[in-house]
Amino acid sequence: MVQKIIWISVSALQMFQRCKRQWYFRYRDKSIKKGTDYPRLCGSEVHQHISLLYKPTKEPRPFYYKTIRNAVGAWMSRWGRALEANRDKINFINLEEEETYSQVGAICVANYFKANQSLPHPIEIEKRYEFFIRPGINLIGVFDQVRQASLEYIKSKRPELIQQGRLIDGYDPVVIIDLKTGRDSFEVKPGDPNFKKKMRKQYELHQNLQATAYIYLYEQVKGKKPIGFCWYHLRSNKAFFTFRTEKDYTVLFDVIDDFLDSLNANFFPKHVGKHCYWCDYVKECYGEQSILISPSEEIGDSQGQLQLIPNVKKPQSKQLKLKIRVPRIKKDPPL
Residues 107 and 131 in one domain: no
Q: 223 is in which domain, residue-wise?
A: 124-255
Assigned domain for 157 exists = yes
Q: Is the pLDDT of residue 96 over 70?
A: yes
Per-residue confidence at 78, pLDDT binned at 50, 70, 90? very high
* Domain shared by 179 and 93, yes or no: no
Q: Are residues 208 and 244 in the same domain?
A: yes
Alpha helices in 175-317 (DSSP H): 195-201, 203-207, 209-222, 249-265, 282-285
Question: Is 330 a domain residue?
Answer: no
51 close to 71: Cβ distance less than 8 angstroms: no
Of 62, 89, 116, the residue that ends a domain is 116
- Whether residues 148 and 178 share a domain: the answer is yes
The average confidence (pLDDT) of the chain is 90
Instruction: Quick: pLDDT tens for 227-256.
Output: 999 999 999 999 999 999 999 999 999 999
pLDDT tens, position by position, 126-176: 999 999 988 888 999 999 999 999 999 999 999 999 999 999 999 999 999
250-274: pLDDT as tens digits: 999 999 999 999 988 999 999 999 9
Is residue 97 domain-resident? yes
Instruction: Specify whether 215 is located in the same domain as 143.
Output: yes
User: Is residue 296 in a domain?
Assistant: no
Q: How far apart are CA 110 and CA 112, in angstroms?
A: 5
Residue 327's CB is within 10 A of a number of other CB atoms, namely: 10
The residue from 96, 116, 136 where one domain ends is 116
For residue 239, report the phi and psi dihedrals to the nearest 5 degrees.
-115, 145
> How many other CB atoms are there within 10 angstroms of residue 21's CB atom?
20
* Residue 235 exposure: Cα atoms within 13 Å on the Cβ side: 16
**Whether residues 84 and 129 fall in one domain:** no
Same domain as 86, residue 23? yes
What pTM, to 2 d.p., does this model score?
0.88
128 within some domain: yes
- Between 308 and 207, where is the model more confident? 207
Q: What percentage of the chain carries pLDDT values higher than 90? A: 74
Q: Report which listed range, 169-178, 193-202, 316-325, is most confident.
A: 169-178
164 and 47 in one domain?
A: no
Residue 71 covered by a domain? yes
CA distance 300 to 305: 12
In a domain, 141, yes or no: yes
> Looking at 228, 255, 282, which one is the last position of a domain?
255
What is the 3 state secondary structure string of 138-187? EEEEEEEEEEECCHHHHHHHCHHHEECCEECCCECCEEEEEEECCCCCCC
Q: Are residues 129 and 251 in the same domain?
A: yes
Among 43-52, 254-263, 317-326, name the one with the lowest average pLDDT.
317-326
| Start-to-end C-alpha separation, the chain | 34
Evaluate whether residue 263 is within a structural domain.
no
The total number of structural domains that make up the chain: 2
Same-domain pairing of 171 and 247: yes
Question: Which residues, 6+ apart, have CB-to-CB distance to 92 below 8 Å?
Answer: 37
Query: Which residue spans within 286-330 are E strands per DSSP?
Result: 291-293, 307-309
